[in-house]
Each structure stands twice: as structure tokens, then as C-alpha cells.
Chain A
Amino acid sequence: MIHARGLVQTFMTGQGKKKTEVHAVDGVDIDVAEGEVVGFLGPNGAGKTTTLRMLTTLLKPTAGTATVAGYDVVTQSQDVRRSIGYVSQAGSTFSSAIAGDEVMDHGMLYGMSRRDAERKGKELFEQLDLPGLWRRMPKNMSGGQKRRLDIAMGLIHEPNLVFLDEPTTGLDPQARANLWEHIAGLRAKQGVTVFLTTHYLDEADHLADRIVIIDKGRIVASDTSDNLKAQVSGDLVDLEVAGDEQIAVARDKLGSIAQGVEVEGRHVRGRVERAGRVVPGLLRDLDSGGVALDSIEVHRPTLDDVFLTLTGRSLRDADAASDAAGAADGESTDELEGATR
């Protein structure tokens, strides 16, 4: 469905003589097969939205090629547009227009007849849990309802491929869970291929068959969630030692079975293969060594660990760092991506 090779997007930023060239996307290859749900994961400012905008013909690539739904995004942009749905971060309907009118007009811009647009629109309102909201204005809808309305807009012309840009950002946990069900249903019930960007780990984990990780404009990994996690060696064992004088003993004991042992305060952490098998022995060992514990926690690897392994920083830190860098430049990374809109 999507084949991108060496996509690059550069633009100038800054003012006056201090202009610098920013490589928002720096040589991205992506392949998505029909029927897949792919999560495009990365920190803010990593180039997710910019990549998406190139794949959806909204932004011309500086270099590289991409075919989407069988058409070239530059030379056959009309055909690409006809074949895909796009649900942007910014929304798609005017807050004081009538929801149903917006959906119908949108369908008609795709060349649908008035009657078809109305029939399909009302069908989508049913499917997406928006009954009775056809005549409602988006400004009087909840955040979750508005996002589902945006998805209805993106599906009105029955595309086989849908791009969702940060679909659940800003929603409360309940609305998120509800939206996840609907997104999962797109593929299950309608056979739609879904490409979604997110900077939420749990979202990618929960929804996507395959996760593509982008950092600083480059793809750093592309695999199933389980395979990615398997790359991280082992489970994290986190011991909280009762007394300071026991830390050294605890470190030695954990060190004999674990890798990358580190001490932080009274916490001693290390990674072990198959924690379930070795932890009972470790506990006996610690006990006989006179080490008392306040707590013990075992963590299965998360996507954040994957990101850490691949890039040397955690996803949360990367978010924070890009925000800080943006603040120092006097513009946030959101604006940086916004500059390409």
C-alpha cells in the first residue's frame, strides 16, 4: 500500500542571517502492506507529521520517491488523494458548521453524489458511535466525539488506506480506549489499511501490528512490538534495599546474574533473561547474604526500553529535550512542524 524510498524534507528556519537548514525528514524508507495496521512512533519533532504530509500529497518531498495505494505522490497526486483518507491532528470540520453538512460536502468534493454522501455519512455516524449528532455543531461535541467525526470525514469516500495523525492526543483515558476500539474496527470490519502516528507507547503497542520508530528524521526500527522488545536484553529487576550498608552486597549478588547493573539511591537495577526463573534464586541469595529488601519489581521490556536501546535516550527524555531545545530557539517544535503546513 505504501512504498517510500529515501524521503527527505528540508526547510529553512530562523530569521535574517541566522537561517539554518532543518532536515525534518532525512531519508525515510517505509513499506506498508495491504491490511496492515502500522504505528509510526517517535518523539515530538521527530518528523512523523512531516512524513505523513508527504505521503498524503500535502507536502512535496525535497528528495526521494513514494507510491501510495499504487500511485506516485508527486506525479499522480490526484489519484493518491482519491484513494486515501487523512485524519489530521488539527481536525477537519468548522466548529460552528453542522456536522452532517460538513461530512456530506466533504464526500461531494470527492465526487460523490449528494445521496451517496448522505447515506455513507449516516452509516459512518452509526458505526462510529455518533447517533443523533448529525445536526450538531462540532463546538458542542466532546473531544472524543469530535475525533470520531474527523474519522468519519476521512472515511466518507470509502478509502482502502487511512492515515491517522496523533488520533488520541488530548483525549481523556476513557475516550482514548473508546477510539482505540473504533480504530481497531477499521481493519477488522472494513479491511482498511491503517497508518497512524503517535507518541504514546501504549497506543502503538495496543493498536499496531507493526511499529516503525522514527527519531531525528530517520527510521531507527521497524518490526512487531514483541520482536522489538525481544531486542532489549531481558527483564528489568529493580531492588530497593532496606539499608545503605547492604547496597554493595546487593549489587554483587545481582551482578552475578544480571547485565548493566546500576545503583541509584537505595535502588539496584539490572537486566536478566527470564526473570521468573532467576529471581527466586536471587532472593534466596540475598537473604543468605543478609540483604533485606523494601521492595522488588520486575519489568517486562517496554517500547520505551526499545527506544532507549536504539537511540540511547528514553522517549520521554527525547520529548522533553526537543521541547527544551525548541524553547531555547524561541519556537516550539510544534511550530517547526507547523511551518511546513
Chain B
Amino acid sequence: MTPLFWRESFIVFRRQIRMNLRNPAWVLIGVLQPVLYLVLFGPLLKPLVAQFDLPTDNPYTFLVPGLLVQLGMFGAFFAGFGLIAEWREGVVEAERVTPASRTALLVGRLMRDLLQLLVQALILIGLGFWMGMRAPFAGVVVGVVLTLCVGGACAAASNALALTTKSEDVMAPLINMIMMPVLLLSGIMLPMTLGPSWLERISDFMPFRWITDAVRDTFVGDLGTSAMAWGVGWAALLFVLALWWGTNVFRKENA
């Protein structure tokens, strides 16, 4: 992690941001889905949330953390599509003939994805507060950091997947295939504790379920729970694994 590495990462990051700013609509389109859930699904939760046996009876304090994790996962999962387009036009190859660090080529892009995610998360949280969510500031900060961890992991995985498949036609169904079970078993819309015990046991094996629970705990200001420990552990582990995979793919000679 030398100054040269950060310089190279920053060059890649700035280039990506410049292209994003030329087309800011995509940042808003990315946040549209969770906002729609918040506005159109949130009110449905209002009469139900009291029966969930949760530390909060505020539907938005329950829903916003789940939507944050969803944003972190799925927003970032689509980051790789941009990379396929760049690869097709020879940009990735052109960058790989420079002496720049291969890790920097990935990290610069991840920095863009994380900044984008941060902006989207702040929009979502701001809207949540406006609709009546209540959460302590420190908890929200920790929750956002966890979200960025998940987002970074998913973005790195998405970039790695993009350079491995090199085809939108392969990647789109693959992401859909991963998305459905992850979404259903993570308790993003409804808490997994509502279901029968067999379903809950299955969801125990879903890392994102623990992360969702952890972010939820941060939003009620409860930072000492076991879900919190599991969630932080999973988020850190996924982040490290995905970064390792992504760097490997960028380094590999036939990427």
C-alpha cells in the first residue's frame, strides 16, 4: 500500500467518477428500487411490525436497514456490467499494459462503487428519517459502514465475475440466480423469525441474513448483540475474500 499504489488507484477512480458524472441518471436509477420499497412497501408493514417481536415497533427503523443491505448487495452486483463494456472496448487491456498495479485497477473501481453506494445510502436514510424512522446517529454510522463492507465485497465479486465471464448474457442470469435465494433467505422484507424453524435454520447459513440483522441492531442502537458479532464477522470475511478473488482475476494473465 505505497503512495504509488494509491496514486494509481486514484487515477482509475477519478476516471470512473468522471464517466459516472457524465451520466448521473444511473446513480438515481440504482437507488430507485429501494426507495420504491420504502414508499410503497413500508406502509404495509405499519400494522404488522408490532407482531414481529422486535426491539422496535417503527416500521421504517425495521425496513431501512434491510433495504440498505439490499442496496449494498444488488446495486454493487451490477457494477461488473460496466467493466464488461470497458473490456470489450479494449480499456482493461490498455490499462494492463501500463506498469500500474493490477490491484489498483480493481481498487480504483471499487472506490467508485463505494462512493456511489454511500450517496445512495444517504438518500435512502434521509428519506427514511423523513418518513418517520428513528435511529441513533452512531448506530446509523456503524450500519452504513457495514453496508459499505457488503457493497465492497459484492462489487469486487461482480467485477471478478465480469472479467471471468466477459459476457452480459452469462452474467445477468447468473446474478438473478444468486439474487433470489439471497433475497428470500436474508430477511430483508420480513424478519426470518416469523417463519417456521426449518426455514430459520436454513437462513442461518446465509451470511447476508446475519449482516441484515446486524445493521438492524445498529439502527435500534444495540451494538452488543450476537447478531452484531456474526454480521461484522461475515461482512469482513466476505470483503476480504471478494477482494482477493477480484485482484487475482485482474492479475491473471488471460483476463
Residues of A within 8 A of B (CB): 11, 56-60, 78, 81-82, 84, 86, 88-98, 101-102, 105-106, 108-111, 150, 153, 339-341
> A108 to chain B: which residues have CB within 8 Å?
11
Q: How far is the CB of B110 from chain A (nearest CB, A)?
A: 17
Q: Kindly report which residue of chain A lies nearest to residue B88, judged by CB atoms.
A: A90
Q: How far is the CB of A12 from chain B (nearest CB, A)?
A: 12
The answer to whether A153 and B94 have CB atoms under 8 Å apart is yes
**A-B contact sample (18 more), CB < 8 A, given A90-B89, A106-B98, A110-B100:** A11-B254, A59-B254, A82-B99, A86-B94, A88-B90, A89-B90, A92-B89, A92-B90, A92-B91, A94-B19, A94-B86, A95-B89, A97-B19, A105-B15, A106-B95, A110-B98, A339-B254, A341-B93
The answer to whether B91 and A109 have CB atoms under 8 Å apart is no
Using a Cβ–Cβ cut-off of 8 Å, how many residues does chain B contribute to the interface with A? 27
Question: Which of B12, B14, B19, B93 lies in contact with A92, CB distance below 8 A?
Answer: B93
Q: Kindly report which residue of chain A lies nearest to residue B91, judged by CB atoms.
A: A94
> B89 to chain A: which residues have CB within 8 Å?
90-95
> B22 to chain A: which residues have CB within 8 Å?
96
The answer to whether A78 and B97 have CB atoms under 8 Å apart is no
Given A93-B91, A101-B15, A86 and B254 contact (CB-CB distance below 8 Å) = no
**B82-141 interface with A by 8 A CB criterion:** 85-86, 88-91, 93-100
> B23 to chain A: which residues have CB within 8 Å?
96
What CA separation (Å) do A86 and B86 show in the bound complex?
17
Given A92-B94, A105-B11, A59 and B99 contact (CB-CB distance below 8 Å) = no
The answer to whether A78 and B99 have CB atoms under 8 Å apart is yes
**Interface membership of B18, Cβ < 8 A:** yes
Q: Kindly report which residue of chain B lies nearest to residue A341, judged by CB atoms.
A: B254
Residues of B within 8 A of A (CB): 4, 8, 11-12, 14-15, 18-19, 22-23, 85-86, 88-91, 93-100, 253-255
The answer to whether A57 and B254 have CB atoms under 8 Å apart is no
> A111 to chain B: which residues have CB within 8 Å?
4, 99
> A78 to chain B: which residues have CB within 8 Å?
99
Q: How far is the CB of B252 from chain A (nearest CB, A)?
A: 9
The answer to whether A81 and B98 have CB atoms under 8 Å apart is yes
What CA separation (Å) do A82 and B23 show in the bound complex?
33
The answer to whether A88 and B254 have CB atoms under 8 Å apart is no
Q: How far is the CB of A292 from chain B (nearest CB, A)?
A: 57
Q: Kindly report which residue of chain A lies nearest to residue B22, judged by CB atoms.
A: A96
What CA separation (Å) do A102 and B86 show in the bound complex?
12
What CA separation (Å) do A86 and B219 show in the bound complex?
52
Q: Which 6 A-B pairs have the closest CB atoms?
A: A90-B90, A92-B94, A91-B90, A109-B98, A109-B100, A86-B97
Q: How far is the CB of A316 from chain B (nearest CB, A)?
A: 28
> B255 to chain A: which residues have CB within 8 Å?
341
Q: How far is the CB of B224 from chain A (nearest CB, A)?
A: 46
The answer to whether B94 and A88 have CB atoms under 8 Å apart is yes
What CA separation (Å) do A82 and B4 show in the bound complex?
15
The answer to whether B19 and A56 have CB atoms under 8 Å apart is no
- List 27 interface pairs A-B (beta carbons < 8 Å), by A numbering: A57-B97, A58-B93, A58-B96, A81-B97, A81-B99, A86-B97, A88-B90, A88-B93, A88-B94, A89-B90, A91-B90, A92-B89, A93-B90, A93-B91, A93-B94, A94-B89, A95-B89, A96-B19, A96-B22, A97-B15, A98-B18, A101-B15, A105-B11, A105-B15, A106-B94, A110-B98, A341-B255
> A102 to chain B: which residues have CB within 8 Å?
15
What CA separation (Å) do A20 and B23 show in the bound complex?
45
The answer to whether B97 and A58 have CB atoms under 8 Å apart is yes
> A57 to chain B: which residues have CB within 8 Å?
97
Q: Kindly report which residue of chain A lies nearest to residue B255, judged by CB atoms.
A: A341
What CA separation (Å) do A94 and B109 show in the bound complex?
15
Q: How far is the CB of B197 from chain A (nearest CB, A)?
A: 42
> A101 to chain B: which residues have CB within 8 Å?
15, 18
The answer to whether B18 and A97 have CB atoms under 8 Å apart is yes
What CA separation (Å) do A109 and B11 show in the bound complex?
7
> B90 to chain A: which residues have CB within 8 Å?
88-93, 150
> B96 to chain A: which residues have CB within 8 Å?
58
What CA separation (Å) do A102 and B90 show in the bound complex?
12
> A94 to chain B: which residues have CB within 8 Å?
19, 85-86, 89, 91
Given A88-B94, A91-B90, A60 and B253 contact (CB-CB distance below 8 Å) = yes
